[in-house]
Amino acid sequence: MHPLITPEALADALSARPATVVLDVRWRLGGPPGRQDYEVSHIPGAVYVDLDTELSAPPGAGGRHPLPEPERLQEVLRRAGVREGGRVVAYDTADGSVAARVWWLLRWAGYGEVAVLDGGFAAWEAAGLPVTADVPVVLEGEAAGDVVVRPGQMPVLDADEAAALAQEGVLLDARAAPRYRGDTEPVDPKAGHIPGALNAPTTGHVGADGRWLGAAELAERFAGLGVSGDAAVGAYCGSGVTASSVVLALEVAGITSAEKPAALYAGSWSNWCALDREVATGG
């Protein structure tokens, strides 16, 4: 399954394949909660999943959005109706940087049939496709999904491994340039970046229309950063969420593949700061 799906293709899939589960993961750094948007309007049949409480473990030394416990993730996915042999499509407000967390988590969990809605909810509405405020019932018992989470199917970096990759390969920082440079830091206790890391903001994955760039354009962008298929590559961000979209973009670009994906520093900058590691600033 291609990691991106258009609104039109998703609409067709929903009418032809009831086994497609749609997850709404709209979220904003600093709030308000994305559930408020979901309750006003969402894709029919979509189930809201909360990034902070359902797709992450509680914040702590591991970072602001540590990976969830496999048992918890399996429970969340089953209650949403995710079944073995089906497929999942996740969407956020627009650019896919949060929905990519679902894509990455399911791949990490051994579930291959998962995609991000290209352009998110904004593109769905722009296409004139139906929306609703009706909230599906939570599935229980035999009506729930039967997905089995098999963790560890995507490469994950710890702080030492991220530091080494920044020197020996390519480590991409998905945050906005001012945060990477250390000009400002609105969330974490330190400003700057991991020494040797290169800046690749998630906003660079999409065009002016909010849709993802094509494979050739993404490949050109990464080549300009010095990324090729020869060097090991990984990504991080503030808390490990939006960096998932860098992993996705590298795959769309053809630089990595489903068989050999980029690595994710799951703890990211929030974990790096908690460990009081060395910080670099400037561009």
Instruction: State the DSSP H helix or E strand holding residue 250, giving kind and residue range, or none if neither.
Output: helix 243-252
- Residue 195: closest CA among 250, 269, 271, 262: 269
Q: Residues 6 or more apart from 91 whose CB is under 8 A from it? A: 22, 23, 24, 25, 26, 43, 46, 99, 116, 117, 120, 121, 124
Distance CA 70, CA 74 (A): 6
Q: Is 273 annotated in the active site?
A: no
Maximum Cα–Cα distance for the chain, whole Å?
A: 55
Residues belonging to the chain: 283
Does residue 33 have a cis peptide bond before it, meaning omega lies within 30 degrees of 0?
no
Instruction: Report residue 131: phi and psi, to 5°.
Output: -130, 165
- Position 151, amino acid: P
Instruction: Report residue 90: phi and psi, to 5°.
Output: -110, 145
CA dihedral for 48, 35, 107, 220, sign (positive or negative): positive
- Residue 245: closest CA among 228, 271, 221, 209: 221
- Taking each continuous run of H as one helix and of E as one strand, the counts in the chain are 10, 10
Within 21-154, residue ranges assigned H as helices are 35-40, 70-79, 99-108, 120-126
Out of 49, 147, 237, 274, the active site residue is 237
Q: Hey, which residues are catalytic here? A: 237
